[in-house]
Amino acid sequence: MSDRTELDEIGEFGLIERITKAVELKQKDTVKGIGDDAAVIDRGDYYELISTDLLTENIHFDMSYTPLKHLGYKAISVNVSDICAMNGTATHVTVSLAISNRFSVEAVDELYAGILLACEKFNVDLIGGDTTSSLSGLTISVTAFGRVAKDKITYRNGAKDKDLICVSGDLGAAYIGLQLLEREKQIWKENPDVQPDLEGNDYVLERILKPEARIDIVELLEKEGIVPTSMMDISDGLGSEVLHLCKQSNCSARIYEDKLPIDATVSIQAKEFNMEPSTCAMNGGEDYELLFTVKQEDFHKVNAMPEVKIIGYMEDDSQGARLVFPQGEEVEIKAQGWKSF
Amino acid sequence: MSDRTELDEIGEFGLIERITKAVELKQKDTVKGIGDDAAVIDRGDYYELISTDLLTENIHFDMSYTPLKHLGYKAISVNVSDICAMNGTATHVTVSLAISNRFSVEAVDELYAGILLACEKFNVDLIGGDTTSSLSGLTISVTAFGRVAKDKITYRNGAKDKDLICVSGDLGAAYIGLQLLEREKQIWKENPDVQPDLEGNDYVLERILKPEARIDIVELLEKEGIVPTSMMDISDGLGSEVLHLCKQSNCSARIYEDKLPIDATVSIQAKEFNMEPSTCAMNGGEDYELLFTVKQEDFHKVNAMPEVKIIGYMEDDSQGARLVFPQGEEVEIKAQGWKSF
């Protein structure tokens, strides 16, 4: 018998590292391959950005409570978000679908209505794709393309000591939305006559079902003349993403718990689920907000930006990433984001 | 109850047509969206080509007889083939995988060994992707990028009356390879002690399991100074592809049955399966050879090209595509390629 190593022994990040090590880049216009939010190709006057995501049923979405139009919208939005995370502007997308024949033409129309709505909203052209049948669930593969000026591109590895750590919008809402949907699904499974009780939760539900790529933040940074020193989007949870920035920038970080931007409805709902709101913000994931660092000299500019909050700063000590509580207690940040395997 | 239209009522091409109609292109650098082998974006000095394919288990491949290394190789090869079909040169790929936990790390290594072997062979950089878990089968999504000089790009819609129809390599072998594998699988299922009898069939098996993108043909065309008037790759079978060229170029076509390039082993095996070799060539699919048309004045050049055969010519009558037999009988060509739904 040959040795067998299970995928969950090395995890998604371990697998990506393994693949990255095996890859050799030869094309002279390849600026950046695997390892950031998007790959980077030199197009002479500017950089082209390429990012791709694969969404699979029952892993990334649950058809029992996900409207198809929202799902289509989200598939585009999360890919455009990756282009934003490089400080770029998305321009084109391709969309491939594997669909089982339990889908009707009308259902596929709904999915595309969401895809095209997002294309219009984010000003990207749908230029291609592949459609095929599937013997099991729905799979959606989106590749997004964008561009960024060479002096504006922002990687994960540029953060320096004393840089301010900023996030856009608020965090934890998508996670609470997901908990609500899962709770109502369980109730419905036990008693199909009970109607789901989702009233008054529009905000958190929209955050999980129909997240918005923050192209407005990228535009605002441009307008304010700020080029972040590092940036990524928050898909796996703030904690996990801060660790990525630290690792790739070779820094440590201090995040202040009382600075985390959390919507009031999230705080209330978190208590109902017996959770700390800051835990939802740190580990929830799927918020698709932007996490970025700026130089201290940009403090006044970012401090004045609407929907951007300074939550901490980078350090060059070896203490790793810490979450600092109001009383001064410090806790090491550990990744608790999505586990793919 | 709302009306429900089944996907197989409109088929893959019907679905693509439906999507294409709904799409609006706004980016001024989008030259060609959905509808050819690859999308085309204007990069100033040249055109960028983008093509994407989604391969799903038990639809596109059967893990019971597909070595993972071959599968990885094929996933890259068929996408590079789409770039070739635009007369372009592939430069980069992204690869996304949805994998179930029945796969070991060693199995994923095998898959990537094939992917990276193909990247080396076709001189493309693997620059990104996404890896995720799957609750069911393996899904592979590849997007390939390439470039082509603006005066060399070849679409499906440029064929004109009297243009010569050419194909590279030979046809029908992949189909015969698939029949052999399916036959041995059935025998094995009925009696697991019987070893598969595949000896002496290396050529047809390699054609289905590890097809080669014809980058050599694109180089040869360049060297000979030939720009085809139309081109596409043969994935669904020659008959289906000839119909695409006719439809998009608004022409009809005459293909000569005795000119079809068929390997001797294919002819022999076809008889064993009680099939006409030319039927395998016309309807088999998965050969990933190039089908292209050239002007009559290029006759001597293409006639002298190794591994290229002239099989007929385009016409501007309204008779549609015909297969002409040696005795003069003509049969209308109908698509009998892959049905996705």
From chain A, pick out residues whose CB is under 8 angstroms from the CB of B23.
116, 119, 125-126
Nearest to B136 among A34, A41, A137 (CB): A137
Is residue A179 domain-shared with residue A133, that is, in the same domain?
A: no
In a domain, A328, yes or no: yes
ipTM: 0.92
The reply to whether residue B341 touches residue A60, judged by beta carbons under 8 angstroms, is no
Provide the CATH number for the domain around residue B45: 3.30.1330.10
Instruction: Compute the nearest-CA separation of B85 from chain A (Å).
Output: 15
Distance CA B183, CA B177 (A): 10
> Has residue B338 got a pLDDT over 80?
no
> Which value, to the nearest 10 degrees, does the dihedral of the CA atoms of residues A11, A17, A22, A25 take?
140
State the pLDDT at residue B13.
84
In a domain, A340, yes or no: no
The reply to whether residue B104 touches residue A34, judged by beta carbons under 8 angstroms, is no
In a domain, B264, yes or no: yes
What is the domain count for chain B? 2
Instruction: Compute the nearest-CA separation of B134 from chain A (Å).
Output: 7
Tokens of B84: 């070739």
From chain A, pick out residues whose CB is under 8 angstroms from the CB of B44.
43-45
The reply to whether residue B33 touches residue A103, judged by beta carbons under 8 angstroms, is no
Which residue on chain A is closest to B14 by alpha carbon? A105
Could you tell me the residue range of the domain that residue A298 belongs to? 164-332
The reply to whether residue A18 touches residue B109, judged by beta carbons under 8 angstroms, is yes
Is residue A179 domain-shared with residue A302, that is, in the same domain?
A: yes
Chain segment A204-241, per-residue pLDDT in tens:
999 999 999 999 999 999 999 999 999 999 999 999 99
Provide the CATH number for the domain around residue B218: 3.90.650.10
> Has residue A1 got a pLDDT over 60?
no
> Has residue A53 got a pLDDT over 90?
yes
State the pLDDT at residue A293.
98
- The residue type at A146: G
The reply to whether residue B5 touches residue A135, judged by beta carbons under 8 angstroms, is no
Average pLDDT score, chain A? 94
pLDDT above 70 covers what percent of chain A? 97
Is residue A187 domain-shared with residue A318, that is, in the same domain?
A: yes
Is residue A37 domain-shared with residue A176, that is, in the same domain?
A: no
Q: Where are the alpha helices (DSSP H) in A23-152?
A: 68-84, 105-121
In a domain, B341, yes or no: no
Is residue A251 domain-shared with residue A275, that is, in the same domain?
A: yes
**What is the average pLDDT across A158-163?**
97
Give, for A267, the enclosing helix (H) or strand (E).
Answer: helix A264-272
From chain B, pick out residues whose CB is under 8 angstroms from the CB of A38.
128
Q: Which residues neighbour A184 within 8 Å (Cβ) at sequence distance 6 or greater?
A: A65, A196, A197, A198
**What is the average pLDDT across B220-228?**
97
Residue after which a domain boundary falls, among A98, A115, A148: A148
The reply to whether residue B33 touches residue A125, judged by beta carbons under 8 angstroms, is yes
Tokens of B275: 């099939």
Nearest to B133 among A34, A145, A340 (CB): A340
Distance CA A37, CA B110 (A): 26
In a domain, B186, yes or no: yes
pLDDT above 70 covers what percent of chain B? 98
**What is the average pLDDT across A157-186?**
96
Which residue on chain A is closest to B22 by alpha carbon? A116
Is residue B168 domain-shared with residue B143, that is, in the same domain?
A: no
A159-176 burial: b if 16+ Cβ within 10 Å, else e: bbeebbbbbbbbbbbbbb
> Has residue B92 got a pLDDT over 90?
yes
Residue after which a domain boundary falls, among A102, A120, A148: A148
Is residue B231 domain-shared with residue B306, that is, in the same domain?
A: yes
Nearest to B141 among A9, A99, A141 (CB): A141
The distance from CA A77 to its chain's CA centroid, rounded to whole angstroms, is 10
Is residue B23 domain-shared with residue B119, that is, in the same domain?
A: yes
| Residue the block writes with tokens 């609750």 | B135
Chain segment B13-34, per-residue pLDDT in tens:
888 899 999 999 999 999 999 9
Is residue B127 domain-shared with residue B172, that is, in the same domain?
A: no
In a domain, A101, yes or no: yes
In a domain, B337, yes or no: no
Distance CA B302, CA B310 (A): 8
Residue after which a domain boundary falls, among A148, A182, A215: A148
Distance CA B40, CA B154 (A): 11
From chain A, pick out residues whose CB is under 8 angstroms from the CB of B18.
105, 109
Is residue A221 domain-shared with residue A117, that is, in the same domain?
A: no
The reply to whether residue B127 touches residue A30, judged by beta carbons under 8 angstroms, is yes
Distance CA B31, CA B13 (A): 21
State the pLDDT at residue B55.
95
Bigger pLDDT: B198 vs A275: A275
In a domain, B153, yes or no: no
Chain segment B154-204, per-residue pLDDT in tens:
999 999 999 999 999 999 999 999 999 999 999 988 988 887 778 889 999
Chain segment B272-329, per-residue pLDDT in tens:
999 999 999 999 999 999 999 999 999 999 999 999 999 999 999 888 999 999 999 9
Is residue A234 domain-shared with residue A115, that is, in the same domain?
A: no
pTM attached to this predicted model: 0.94
> Has residue B45 got a pLDDT over 70?
yes
Is residue B189 domain-shared with residue B328, that is, in the same domain?
A: yes
Q: What is the DSSP string of A195-259?
A: PP--TT-HHHHHHHHS----HHHHHHHHHTT---SEEEE-SS-HHHHHHHHHHHHT-EEEEEGGG
